[in-house]
Amino acid sequence: MSSKDYYALLDVKEDATDNEIKKAYRRLAKKYHPDVNTETEAEDTFKKIQHAYGVLRDPEKRKLYDKYGASWEHARQEESAQQSYQKQGQQPFRGNFNDHGFGAYEDIFSQYFRQHQDQQQAGRRDARGQDLHAQVTITITEALNGTEKQLHFSYHTIDEYGQFVEKTKKLKVKIPKGVGNGQQIRLKGQGEEGVGKGANGNLYLEVNVTSTSRYQVIENDIYCHIPMTPWEAALGSEIMIPTPHGKIKLKVPAHSQTGKKMRLKGKGLSGGDFYVVLDLILPPAVSDEQKSFYQKMAKEMAFDPRKDLMGVK
C-alpha cells in the first residue's frame, strides 16, 4: 500500500483539510454502509474507508502515515520508544527505514531492557509516565444521557528493576452526556506511572457508540428504517416513529419511494443528524378479494416501473 492509498480511498488530496476529510468520509460512509448498500463488496469497502478515516483524522497518525506510508504503525512504536529513552536521558534507538518498511535492526525490547538496567546502575532519574490509550463501547442511550463504566485493561511498562512487565488497571470512568462517536476523553494522570518525581501520563479514552437492531450509527449520524404501506407513501401521511429522543410525528410527502431518506437535523449524536429511511411494504394478496384488488389496480393504473430500462445496455 502506497502512502497515497488512504487519500485515494477517501477521494481527497494529500493536503486536504480536516473538514474536507470528514465530509468525504461521511459521504462515502453513507454510500457504502452495509445497511444502505447491499452490493457484495460494499461492506469490505466500508471497512477500508473507516480504517483510512481513522488514520487521517488523527493528526499524529496522519503525520506518521504521510512520512512512512504503510509502515506508519511500526514507526509510531519506535518513535514512542525513542521518546521514552530521551525523557530518561538515554540515547534513542535508531531504526533503519527503507521504501518497504523497517530494515534489519536489533530487537527493540532487548535494547529497552539493557538501557533501563544501565539506568539502574547510574541512578534513577525523574521521567513522566507514558500516555495510555483505551476504548470503551457504549449504547446510543448512554451517549445521549451520560453513563459510568468500569474499565479493566492491561499495558506494558518497565518496573523499578528495569524489567519489561505487564500491568493491569481498573478504573471507573464517567462518560459525559452528549459524547460523540469516536470522541476522545482525556483522563489526566491515569496513564503509566511516572519515574521518580515524574508525573503520571494521561489516559486517552476513545468512545465507540454501538448500533442496534433498530438504529445504525455512522459517525455521529443515526439511521432508522421505517416500514410504510404503499398508500401512505403514495398519498402522503403523518406517522409516529421512534427515535432515541422519544417518539415524534413525521410528515411523509406524497409520491415518496422506498429508500427515500428524510433528515431530522440535530437529532443524532453530538450534533449529528437522524435519518429516516422509508421501506415500502406490500400487503399480501391471499384472498380472492385481495387478488382482485391488485388486478384492478394493475389495470387502472397501468404503471410500468421498468419502462426506462428498455433499450438500455
- Report how many domains make up the chain: 3
The CA radius of gyration of the chain, in Å to the nearest whole number, is 27
Q: Is residue 313 part of a domain?
A: no
Alpha-carbon distance 76 to 252, whole Å?
51
Whether 140 and 118 map to the same domain: the answer is no
Domain CATH number, residue 171: 2.60.260.20
Last residue of one domain, picked from the residues 149, 183, 209: 209
Taking a C-beta distance cutoff of 8 angstroms, is the pair 207, 182 a contact? yes
Compute CA distances 70 → 4, 44, 102, whole Å.
10, 19, 11
Q: Does 263 reside within a domain?
A: yes
Claim to verify: residue 287 and residue 192 sit in the same structural domain:
no
- Residue 15 in any domain: the answer is yes
Q: Are 66 and 3 in contact (CB under 8 A)?
A: yes
Report the pLDDT value the prediction gives residue 208, as an integer from 0 to 100: 92
Q: Are residues 43 and 83 in the same domain?
A: yes
Is 85 domain-assigned? Answer: yes
pLDDT tens by residue, 233-273: 999 999 999 999 999 999 999 999 999 999 999 999 998 99
- CA angle, 125 then 127 then 129, to 5°: 145
Same domain for 268 and 229, yes or no, is: yes
Residues 100 and 188 occupy one common structural domain: no
Please tell me whether residues 173 and 258 are part of one structural domain: no
Q: Measured at the alpha carbon of residue 64, what is the angle toward residues 63 and 69, in degrees to the nearest 5?
A: 115
Same domain, 103 and 188: no
pLDDT in the model for residue 247: 93
* Containing structural domain, residue 51: 5-122
Q: What tens digit of pLDDT does each residue of 154-164 get?
A: 777 766 666 66
In a domain, 18, yes or no: yes
The pLDDT-based confidence of 75 (bands split at 50, 70, 90) is low
User: Which residues are CB-neighbours of 134 under 8 A, at least 6 positions away?
Assistant: 151, 153, 203, 204, 205, 206
The neighbouring-strand residues paired with 133 are 204
Q: Is residue 107 pLDDT above 60, yes or no?
A: no
The enclosing domain of 29 has a CATH number of 1.10.287.110
Domain identity same for 165 and 232: no
| Burial (0-12, 13-18, 19+ Cβ within 10 Å), 163 | exposed
Q: Which of 71, 101, 122 is the last residue of a domain?
A: 122
Q: Which of 209, 234, 249 is a domain's end point?
A: 209
For residues 163 and 104, state if they share a domain: no
201 and 263 together in one domain:
no
What integer pLDDT is reported at residue 90 of this predicted model? 47
111 and 173: one domain?
no
